[in-house]
Structures are given as structure tokens and as C-alpha cells.
A and B are shown apart, each in its own frame.
Chain A
Amino acid sequence: MDNGLLFAAGGLGVFLIGAWAVVLRAHLIRKILALNLMSSGAFLLLVGAGAIGHAGVDPVPQAMVITGIVVSISATALGLAIVLRIAKTTGRALLPEDRERTPTDRPLR
């Protein structure tokens, strides 16, 4: 399996895309998507790096990634429930600092 380095680089790229978006996108669900992308990128980096220079498969990173996927959906589910509460309570799915920056009476661009 000499595709390990390629996939590890891909995982790094996905992680960076997620990290860029989690800061710069305002909508809370978009932030949760970005966090999920960061997780998936880290998993890919982990398994890809383990596959560099090996012919056989290493089951330990795979087990860790399966655990990670399940933990990831737990965090996503809890995060989405909180986002829904925020949206229903304050009317907008945004963090307080973004809410101040984007008043509702500002016209769309």
C-alpha cells in the first residue's frame, strides 16, 4: 500500500479546509460541518500515515478511527441540539459576536 503518503496529504488538506472554515464562516451549522471535516481529515491523516511504507494493514489506527467516528457523531448531535436551542431562543443561528456584526436590519448584499 504505497498510497499512504497521498492519503495522508489529502487528510491534511481536508483538515486545513475545515480549520479555515470553522473560523471564517458565521453560521453555526456551517461551523459544525467544518468541525466534522477537521475530524475526518485527522482520521485520514492518522490511517494514511500508518500505511506509509507498509504492505500490510495496521488495525490499531483503524480501530481508533472507528471510535473517533462514533464520538464525532455524538458531539455533532449534541452540538446540533444546542444550535437549535440557540436559534429558537435568540432567533439566529450565530455566535453573539457574529450576531452583533450582522444586525437584522442591514440589507442583504
Chain B
Amino acid sequence: MNTGLVLDLVLVLVLLWVGWAALWSRDLFRGIVLFIAFGMVLALVWIRLGAPDVGLAEAAIGAGLTGALLLATWGALPPGSGTPDGEDEPEEDSGQEAGETATGGSDAG
């Protein structure tokens, strides 16, 4: 049982766990962020498989740009458009764009 195989096993377990958590988290925002993390771990897996080109593509496109798309769409959803389970409740002001700070917009001029 060499260290490479142990690392690979840990990577696969983390991948499965983060994938499950991304889809079954109560909060959709958390799910999207976990999906970005899933993409990052998957990029590591591609490196372990000897596919650095795929790893670059996954990190940039699969995790980065897809994550940006998802977050921007989530933020643009009208409030109250989630399921009654409480999924996806965007912040109260539905006009919040992805560039605002978490404290609700800075007052810098």
C-alpha cells in the first residue's frame, strides 16, 4: 500500500463526499460553493491520472467559470423562487449582484 494509492483513495473519498454535500446541502448557495470545491478536487484527481491538460481545463472552466455562472444566476433569481424546503433563498434585496460585499454594499464612494 504505497503512499500514492493512499493519496488517491483519500482524493476519491473527498470527491464523493463533497459531491454528495453539494447536492444535499440545505442551502443552495452552500451547494454551489461546494460544487466549486468539487471541481478543484477533481482537478487534483486529473493530475494524479497524468492528465495535466485536463486538470488545467477543469480548474479554469469546470470549477472557475461554471462556478461564476452559477453564483451569478443564483444571485439574480427573484426572492421566494425556491422550494418550500427553504432551498435557494437569495438575500432580501433581489437586485444584489455578484460584486457586492457580504455586508450589503460598502459606502465607499
Contact = CB atoms under 8 A, between A and B. Distances in A.
Nearest to B35: A33
A33 B50 contact: no
Q: Which of B24, B58, B66, B76 counts the most chain A CB atoms within 10 A? A: B66
B69 A77 contact: yes
Given A17-B20, A30-B31, A57-B50, A87 B57 contact: no
A76 B19 CA distance: 17
Nearest to B76: A84
Interface size class of B (residues with CB under 8 A): 35 or more
Contacts of A51: 49-50
A40 B62 contact: yes
Given A21-B24, A33-B23, A66-B57, A10 B12 contact: yes
A27 B28 contact: yes
Contacts of B19: 14, 17-18, 37
B54 A65 contact: yes
Interface size, A (range): 35 or more
Given A29-B73, A93-B88, A109-B84, A47 B54 contact: yes
6 contacts: A3-B5, A7-B8, A29-B77, A33-B70, A44-B45, A109-B85
Interface of A: 1-4, 6-7, 9-10, 13-14, 17-18, 21, 25-27, 29-30, 32-34, 36-37, 40, 43-44, 47-48, 51, 57, 62, 65-66, 69-70, 72-73, 76-77, 80-81, 83-84, 87-88, 91-94, 98, 102, 104, 106-109
Interface of B: 4-5, 8-9, 11-12, 15-16, 19-20, 22-24, 28, 31-32, 35, 38-39, 42, 45-46, 48-51, 53-54, 57-58, 61-62, 65-66, 69-70, 73-74, 76-78, 80-88
